[in-house]
């Protein structure tokens, strides 16, 4: 390729995972080969404002936005990042060939940003609107997995309004899932934000109230005595899967603190599991990925019940973490695909997906 590919890396966003996104973005920016790519940083602040230009990531991490250029995306036929000033004509800041979203959680991983990129006819890394939204909604995702006969734990959804207004009814609904311990989490969030392990009715009320701060729908799941296994997925219609890894959390479960703060959790790569279990995890990961019409990348998270040895699919993350401690790139590296080459594959997959869309008819003229 004679010219560098111009990659817009989008990070931040209006999500409880804003800070995690910044950490992921720093790793992605460092992994993109400067000999191949011209990288354009695009930050979305906590209130939804977009900014472009040099130093955006550092400015976001310092909480200082002064001097950054307000920005917006272009339209079909005019792919790029534009300076946006109220009352003034748009001015091209940077042309773009492809976008790499590293936006975890709401308004970034849930299909909303992907819809904007589709409207702009912009090639982008990762899953489309449907897969992103289904995977992000843990409750809907579990229903789809059950339809495909993929094993998931017992669960139920409790509405936040019920939690606030009729607490006893909400608790009864949650306790109907099964015996304690129960896990409570926002239906649409990741990085273990708002997740609680509950051993009693008082714990459960506290967990429901906390999760309801982040989402109007709260998922309650049956707790298991289990190991946490993860598999990375890469590809479009015919995905590849990595060797499995195991997480040994420093907390009771892989909480936000255990993931990003105390630096004491361990990642075991490969996971110390038998070959049959490893192959089953890889098979289920690929099957679930195809069931949601995944594209580009995902990380499949499993619970391996200690007593029975049975695998339960917990969730599929369509924009997995890319921080220095994240499983997704580490599993691919252990599977023989180094981080920079992983970036190449993801960008190639984005262009391949765009070529498919470009070949579709957008009008109907009928037949004679």
pLDDT in tens, the chain (368 residues): 458 999 999 999 998 889 999 999 999 999 999 999 999 999 999 999 999 978 999 999 999 998 899 999 988 989 999 998 887 888 899 999 999 999 998 899 999 999 999 999 999 999 999 999 999 999 999 999 999 999 999 999 999 999 999 999 999 999 999 999 999 999 887 657 789 999 999 999 999 999 999 889 999 999 999 999 999 999 999 999 999 999 998 666 544 554 544 456 789 999 999 999 999 999 999 999 999 999 999 999 999 999 999 999 999 999 999 987 899 999 999 999 999 999 999 999 999 999 999 999 888 777 65
- Find the CATH number of the domain harbouring 251: 3.30.470.20
Rounded Cα gap, residues 82 and 80, in angstroms: 6
Closest listed residue to residue 99, CA positions, set 4, 5, 223, 13: 5
Helix (H) or strand (E) holding 320: none
Residue 233 contacts residue 197 (beta carbons within 8 Å): no
Same domain, 16 and 109: yes
Residue 354 contacts residue 296 (beta carbons within 8 Å): no
CA angle 49/55/56 to nearest 5° reads 20
The total domain count for the chain is 3
- At residue 194, the pLDDT reads 83
In a domain, 135, yes or no: no
Same domain, 158 and 189: yes
In a domain, 282, yes or no: yes
In a domain, 134, yes or no: no
End-of-domain residue from the set 192, 222, 252 = 222
- Find the CATH number of the domain harbouring 39: 3.40.50.20
Same domain, 238 and 186: no
Bridge partners of 222, per DSSP, are 182
Coil, strand or helix at 11: strand
- At residue 249, the pLDDT reads 80
Q: Is the peptide bond before 181 cis (omega within 30 degrees of 0)?
A: yes
Residue 352 contacts residue 236 (beta carbons within 8 Å): yes
Residue 325 contacts residue 257 (beta carbons within 8 Å): no
- At residue 54, the pLDDT reads 81
Tokens representing 275 are 């070959």
Tokens representing 12 are 């931040």
Same domain, 211 and 232: no
Residue 28 contacts residue 40 (beta carbons within 8 Å): no
In a domain, 246, yes or no: yes
Rounded Cα gap, residues 238 and 233, in angstroms: 10
- Find the CATH number of the domain harbouring 170: 3.30.1490.20
Same domain, 259 and 333: yes
- At residue 216, the pLDDT reads 93
Same domain, 267 and 301: yes
Same domain, 189 and 253: no
Same domain, 208 and 237: no
Q: Is the dihedral of CA 127, 132, 135, 140 positive or negative?
A: negative
Bridge partners of 312, per DSSP, are 303
Domain that holds residue 174: 154-222
Rounded Cα gap, residues 54 and 59, in angstroms: 9
Same domain, 42 and 70: yes
Helix (H) or strand (E) holding 240: strand 240-241
End-of-domain residue from the set 197, 222, 247 = 222
In a domain, 133, yes or no: no
In a domain, 85, yes or no: yes
- At residue 323, the pLDDT reads 86
Tokens representing 265 are 């959790």
In a domain, 137, yes or no: no
Rounded Cα gap, residues 179 and 248, in angstroms: 24
Length of the chain, in residues: 368
Residue 84 contacts residue 50 (beta carbons within 8 Å): yes
- At residue 353, the pLDDT reads 98
End-of-domain residue from the set 203, 222, 241 = 222
Same domain, 343 and 287: yes
- Helix axes 129-136 and 112-119, enclosed angle (nearest 10): 170
- At residue 264, the pLDDT reads 64
- At residue 238, the pLDDT reads 96
Determine the distance from the C-alpha atom of residue 313 to the mean position of all C-alpha atoms in its chain, rounded to a whole number.
16
Q: How many CA atoms lie within 13 A of 3 on its CB side?
A: 5
- Dihedral in degrees, nearest 10, Cα atoms 230, 232, 236, 240: -110
Coil, strand or helix at 268: strand
In a domain, 362, yes or no: no
Same domain, 101 and 190: no
Same domain, 247 and 166: no
Residue 177 contacts residue 155 (beta carbons within 8 Å): yes
Phi first, then psi: give them for residue 200, nearest 5 degrees: -155, 170
């Amino acid at each position: 390729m004679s010219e560098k590919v111009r990659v817009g890396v989008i990070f931040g966003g209006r999500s409880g995972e804003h800070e995690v996104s910044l950490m992921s973005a720093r790793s992605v920016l460092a992994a993109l080969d400067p000999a191949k790519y011209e990288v354009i940083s695009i930050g979305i602040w906590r209130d939804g404002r977009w900014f472009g230009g040099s130093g955006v990531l550092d400015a976001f991490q310092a909480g200082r936005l002064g001097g950054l250029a307000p920005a917006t995306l272009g339209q079909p036929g005019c792919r790029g990042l534009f300076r946006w000033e109220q009352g003034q004509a748009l001015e091209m800041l940077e042309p773009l060939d492809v976008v790499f979203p590293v936006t975890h959680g709401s308004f970034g991983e849930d299909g909303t940003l992907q819809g904007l990129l589709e409207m702009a006819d912009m090639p982008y890394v990762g899953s489309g609107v449907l897969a992103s939204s289904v995977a992000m909604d843990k409750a809907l995702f579990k229903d789809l997995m059950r339809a495909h006969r993929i094993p998931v734990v017992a669960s139920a959804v409790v509405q936040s309004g019920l939690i606030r207004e009729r607490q006893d009814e909400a608790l009864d609904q949650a306790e109907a899932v099964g015996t304690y311990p129960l896990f409570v989490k926002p239906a649409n969030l990741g990085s273990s934000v708002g997740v609680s392990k509950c051993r009693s009715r008082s714990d459960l009320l506290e967990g429901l109230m906390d999760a309801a701060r982040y989402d109007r729908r709260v998922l309650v799941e049956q707790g298991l005595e289990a190991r946490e296994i993860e598999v990375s997925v890469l590809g479009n219609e015919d995905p590849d899967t990595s060797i499995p890894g195991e997480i040994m959390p420093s907390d009771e479960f892989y909480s936000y603190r255990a993931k990003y703060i105390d630096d004491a959790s361990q990642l075991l790569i490969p996971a110390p599991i038998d070959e049959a279990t490893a192959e089953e995890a890889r098979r289920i990961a690929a099957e679930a990925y195809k069931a949601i019409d995944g594209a580009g990348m995902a990380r499949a998270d499993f619970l391996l019940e200690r007593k029975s040895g049975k695998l339960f699919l917990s969730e599929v993350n369509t924009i997995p973490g890319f921080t220095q401690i994240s499983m997704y790139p580490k599993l691919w590296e252990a599977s023989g695909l180094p981080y920079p080459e992983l970036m190449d594959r993801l960008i190639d997959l984005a262009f391949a997906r765009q070529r498919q869309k470009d070949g579709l008819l957008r009008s109907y003229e009928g037949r004679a």
